[in-house]
Amino acid sequence: MRAIWKGAVSFGLVNVPVRLFSATENHDVQFRQVHEKDGGRIKYQRICSIDGEEVPYSDIAKGYEAADGQMVILSDEDLKSLPTRTTKEISIEKFVPSEQIDPLLFDKSYYLEPDKTGLKPYVLLRDALEKADRMALVTVSVRSRMTLAVLRVRDGVIVLQTLLWADEVRKPEFESLSEETHATQKELAMASSLVDSLSGDYEPEEFEDDYAEAVAKLVETKIEGGDITETPEAKGEESEVVDLLAALQRSVDKAKAAKTGGSSSAAPAPASDDDSAAKKTASKSTAKKTAAKKSTTKKAAAKTTAKKSTTKKAATKKAS
């Protein structure tokens, strides 16, 4: 489990450093809304009820609807002015009899684990709660909002259970139950007999979520029978998973194409110092070869010119 909150229980002059863990998890079956035709997930757009246009998250604000239907828009500055508490303290206000806390008030449950330095005071508080058969009524700030909660012991571990506020529990106002109607003595005797015949202890392992198991078996049967829908990639969306190997292969292909004279959109890699030195050496060598070639050409031209001059002189002497 992963701690979702760290703080301390304030027990008189004693502080008990603790970590908070969620004590429950939801195993309810979750279905997706999909298009029956191709299995694509159904998306919901944020449409303004007045102009009918889609609204981006950046333009969405918090609004409070008054009793008369008027809407009051609250800015970030307004929200900052509200009373918030971010204290990391679970403050024990009083110890109350367990039967005074109506189970209807219980909201969420958390386990408290002590830090190594707070093991002894943790055990002291746990044992005191068990001996007194009372719950510790506390105030705690969870997600920046102060709430009421109780501390009780379960299987040797202190459990924190947040409480609903009194005005969050609805009153059961049913007209059909307001009449003075009661069971007869004979009916009550039969009902009591039925209660006795069905009496027993609560053993959680006796009960299973048969609906979840049936769904799992149904899905497994469909998969084994090949009754699945290959969902194509949604249009306009890029895959969140990048195939690194494929990206590297494309880079290699581009590099090879560039070497063989093929076109490539990839920018050339910056030359290293060794590459630059090699290029300079090759350039000097080419320049020397070019200069030597030019010198040889000049010498050959000079020899040809000298030969022609000697021939002309010989022809002149013969004529005379």
Task: Indicate which CATH number applies to the domain containing 148.
Answer: 2.40.290.10
Q: Is the pLDDT of residue 253 over 80?
A: no
Task: Answer yes or no: is pLDDT of 272 > 80.
Answer: no
Grade residue 173 by pLDDT with cuts at 50, 70 and 90: confident
Q: Kindly state whether residue 122 falls inside one of the protein's structural domains.
A: yes
Pairwise CA distance, residues 139 & 90, whole Å: 6
Q: In whole angstroms, what separates CA 179 from the centre of its chain?
A: 53
Within-domain flag for 90: yes
When pLDDT is cut at 50, 70 and 90, the band that residue 85 belongs to is: low
* 266 located within any domain: no
Q: Regarding beta strands 106-114 and 157-163, do their DSSP bridges make them parallel or antiparallel, or are they unpaired? A: antiparallel
Residue 76 has pLDDT above 80, yes or no: yes
Mean pLDDT within 250-261: 69
pLDDT band at residue 234 using 50, 70 and 90 as cut-offs? low
In the predicted structure, residue 164 carries a pLDDT above the cut 60? yes
Asked if residues 39 and 121 have their Cβ atoms less than 8 Å apart, the reply is: no
Q: What is the pTM of this model?
A: 0.58
Backbone phi, then psi, for 51, in 5-degree steps? -100, -5
* C-alpha angle 244-247-250 in degrees, rounded to nearest 5: 150
Residue 7 belongs to a domain: yes
How far CA 21 is from CA of 153, 248, 304, in Å, comes to 15, 43, 103
pLDDT of residue 188: 92
pLDDT value at 243 more than 90: no
pLDDT above 90: percentage of residues in the chain: 27
Number of domains in the chain: 1
Radius of gyration of the chain (CA): 43
**What is the domain range of residue 128?**
1-24+78-167
DSSP 233: P
Q: Please indicate, yes or no, if residue 139 is contained in any of the structural domains.
A: yes
85 domain-assigned: yes
- Rank 146-160, 205-219, 236-250, 263-277 by mean pLDDT and report only the highest: 146-160
Summarize the confidence of residues 45-56 as an average pLDDT.
90
Q: What's the mean per-residue pLDDT of the chain? A: 77
Domain for residue 156, yes or no?
A: yes
| Of the candidates 105, 117, 103, 110, the residue with the CA atom closest to the CA atom of residue 16 | 117
* Residue 12 included in any domain: yes
Supply the pLDDT for residue 144.
67
Between CA 170 and CA 164 the distance in angstroms is 11
Confidence of residue 268 (pLDDT cuts 50, 70, 90): very low
Q: Calculate mean pLDDT across residues 275-290.
A: 45
